[in-house]
Amino acid sequence: MLDLQIKGILEQAAAAGAPDFADLPPAAGREVYSQILAATDVAVADGVNISDLSIPGPGGELALRCYRPEGADELAGAVLYLHGGGFVVGCPRDYDGVVSQLSRLSGCLIVQVDYRLAPEHPYPAAVEDCYAALCWLADAATELRVTPGQIALAGDSAGANLAAVCALLARDNAGPSVRQQTLIYPTASGPDTLYDSYDKYGEGYTLTNRSMVYFMEHYLSGSAEPVDFRLAPLDAENLSDLPPALIQVAGFDPLRDEGIAYAEALQQAGCSVSLTEYPQLVHGYISMSGAVAAAGRAVDEVAAAWRQVFSSVA
């Protein structure tokens, strides 16, 4: 059964004539996305310092947003968090509430990446930015007062796709050691792979099939790069020897079956996977705990997973 608070949000959006992202140009879509998250996200956490910095990136200066619990001289671990938004909308500031709360609850430094967005910067620009940030974070651990080698990857939706891809790139390129990956309702397949959940939940909820097509068309538009695992982690020839994964999916989400398929593929490859379904929730719930009480349980699970990952670090 759909969560009653989410049902109320959906009904209000329908009554107000809220547009589908597929009907908006990217600039307008970004404004709408920011407004949606501002209305549903939890408040910025007390006791967490938020700061901005920039590093050299593949396409120029790359902006990062850092969340650090107050009062800790050295932190046991750091998480690179990659925001959602279909590779087209979203920015770190949109996620200040949930990411600051995750930092407070987990005791971790969290770094968000303001990766380049499509269609201005098509695939694989976002991948390149996120992997560059991962490498920087590993190199800068001592400077950031984080125990070296203690890094996790995380993201939601398109950001979960980017996190999964970065884990693969790190493995294949002798890159940073990644302790864990948290993938929240990830997209993991190419645009031609459809699942039953697309038919069941692709209309009338927060993410529509039309939006999925819109996002993917923008992400791939003008790209000369081959479509491979950097777009669809499920297409990777080898999924073994990847970090332990926490994968969360929502019951009323067109991406539900896709996330489950990636969890099963990782398990079949011998990876450690914890799969959690939140059957009453919809796509986007990680940024809804300010308006949807049930979404808070998913946030708590993520924070608890990170505490456990880094608990053995002195």
Which residues form the catalytic set? 157
Instruction: Report residue 183 as tokens.
Output: 């993938």
CA atoms within 13 A on the CB side of 37: 24
Torsion sign over Cα 236, 228, 235, 249? positive
CA 33 to chain centre: 15
Classify strands 60-69 and 48-57 as parallel, antiparallel or unpaired: antiparallel
Q: Are 45 and 68 in contact (CB under 8 A)?
A: no
Q: Are 134 and 176 in contact (CB under 8 A)?
A: yes
- What's the one-letter identity of residue 299? V
Cα Rg, the chain, nearest whole Å: 18
Is residue 168 a contact partner of residue 269, using CB atoms and an 8 Å limit? Answer: no
Place of tokens 């294949």: 172
Q: In this structure, what DSSP letter does residue 179 have?
A: -
- Cα–Cα distance measured from residue 1 to residue 202, given in angstroms and rounded to the nearest whole number: 17
Angle formed at CA 68 by CA 63 and CA 69, multiple of 5 degrees? 165
Residue whose C-alpha is closest to residue 295's, from 307, 276, 282: 282
